[in-house]
Structure 1
Amino acid sequence: MQASLLAVFAHPDDESLRCGGTLAHYAALGAKVTLVCLTRGEAGRNTDPTLQVTDLATQREQELRDACTVLGIQPPIFLGYHDSGRGERLRRDDPLATINADPLQIEAEVLEVIEQVKPQVMLTFDPHGMYGHPDHLVAHRVATAAFSSSGFRKVKVHRLFYTVQTRAEMQALQGGQSLAVLDGLPPETYAVCDCTIAARLDVNAHAAQKRAALFAHRSQTGPQSTLGTLSDAQLQPLLEFETYSLGGARGVIPEYPLKDLFAGLNVTYGLERQPG
């Protein structure tokens, strides 16, 4: 089987900060790497005043396409749901917002993608959605459900990983020029202890790609954003290592923590170089 990885996230830019290096790494090896994005992030805000944005959904869709090109992966698959917003901007009355959509229908659409791209490995948000965004929680739920349901289907996904942050990583992002979405959140809830880490990948070889992909999301990393104005000391560790917990597995896990998300699986890559 050709190595195939499927990532399921909620908004454009979700893919870059926590797993962009992983996506670039496996794409460079020759794996098929597919990204499903539930929404186009239309409930966000433009943080770069130099951009003339009249349609944020269109802008963010193009930003994600550009980021995927930088990472060397296939163009994203948009499921067409709407960004739910959060807090005071929560879109309770939008029937297409992910919080109002039928989760079984979204799961069915993810299962259709699974049938098409035949992934052995899936990635999605952790159970707390990094910082509790309603759409992140939906993405976590439907991806986890699709992984579970795939056991009864022709294409059975072997492993599900959650993108996670260690307590030290979260505390670093809460200090100094803090990442605003993490302000006031307890790391004991939104981060993971070291014994939960199932894989910690060294992606330093793809740090420049990851940075470029992150900043391809210009509307979200402008001078009015906290993400785009993190200090080098805060951002650099996130460009070098990516951390995962195990959401589920079918079959033996050959070591713990893993150094390769496909370790022990009978897969081939499109290039001669293999993960080491």
Structure 2
Amino acid sequence: MTSRTALVVSAHSADFVWRCGGAIALHAAKGFEVTVICLSYGERGESAKLWRQAGMTLERVKAAREAEAKKAAAVLGVHDIQFWDLGDYPINLTEQAFFRLVDVYRAIHPAFMLTHSKEDLYNHDHPAVSAWAQNARITAQAHGHNPGQKVLGAPPVFLFEPHQPEQCNWKPDVLLDIGPVWEKKRAAIECMEGQEHLWEYYTRVAQQRGAQAARNSDKKIVWGEGYQSVFPHVVESLA
């Protein structure tokens, strides 16, 4: 395999934009092929603006959400975005979809994976997806699953920020400087027209994480993203 790859498992079609758009754009610019899997369109719980329009239908909501996400993905430099349409509120994480995700792990062998927090009191789809995606990672590492295939190694897993971290027992231990790609992330945010009320909120989040990153380093950082790592970091140097 010649290309470096990364995997983002996003419960809904906008989550990858708000929560890890900077990481996607930053690594895409470094030559990573980033695959984003949107398990749901967020058609029930995250599309209120669309549902307020007269004559709106479920299929029209899904189409609008997909178009927004594709536009944002193009801005960020996503290599491959997939829409699995597993339902919303609640999401339906089927056995078939589980093994489909295992196949993705085995196909791309990501250098790292990003997904949701372990807890979210306000959206139970998010922690369900987090556990499910990590379980698929474990299966992709199993030699007894589809013997003969190259098994997955041990890609680090980073959990991106939930909407209300204080209520979700989410504590960042990785702060990523996204200053070089902030304009791309903001442009991607503005692609999500169905959730315009979140544009400024996630701009403020990026500023806050940037301020924290600057405080925890000797660098001048303005824009940042926070992540919670699942596994220990294996390093060759502490400097």
Q: Shorter chain as normaliser: what TM range?
A: 0.7 to 0.9
Corresponding residue number in structure 2 for 1:156: 152
- Bigger relative contact order, structure 1 or 2 (CA pairs below 8 A, ≥6 apart): 1
Among 105, 129, 133, which residue is 1:143 paired with? Answer: 133
Among 73, 76, 101, which residue is 2:78 paired with? Answer: 73
- CA RMSD, aligned part only? 3.0
> How far did residue 248 of structure 1 move?
3.3
Determine the C-alpha separation between the residues in 1 that align with 2:140 and 2:238.
24
Matched, 1:5 2:6: yes
Corresponding residue number in structure 1 for 2:219: none
* Cα deviation digits, residues 235-275 of structure 1 (max 9, x gap): 533571112222236xx6117999xxxxxxxxxxxxxxxxx
Determine the C-alpha separation between the residues in 2 that align with 1:15 and 1:40.
12
Q: How does 1:13-24 map to 2 (within 5 A)?
A: 13-24=14-25
Determine the C-alpha separation between the residues in 2 that align with 1:231 and 1:67.
15
TM-score between the two structures when normalised by the length of structure 1: 0.68
SS of corresponding position for 2:85? strand
* Cα deviation digits, residues 210-243 of structure 1 (max 9, x gap): 111112110111xxx3x13539655533571112
Determine the C-alpha separation between the residues in 2 that align with 1:257 and 1:105.
42
Identify unmatched segments of 5+ residues in structure 1: 85-90, 92-96, 166-180, 259-276
- Letter of the 1:246 counterpart: S
Identity within the alignment, % = 26
Q: How does 1:1-276 map to 2 (within 5 A)?
A: 1=1, 2-43=3-44, 44-47=46-49, 54=57, 55-84=60-89, 97-98=91-92, 101-102=93-94, 104-129=95-120, 131-153=121-143, 154-158=150-154, 159-164=156-161, 182=164, 187=166, 189-192=168-171, 197=173, 199-221=174-196, 225=197, 227-230=198-201, 233=204, 236-237=207-208, 240-248=223-231, 253-254=234-235
- State the aligned residue count: 215
Identify unmatched segments of 5+ residues in structure 2: 144-149, 211-222
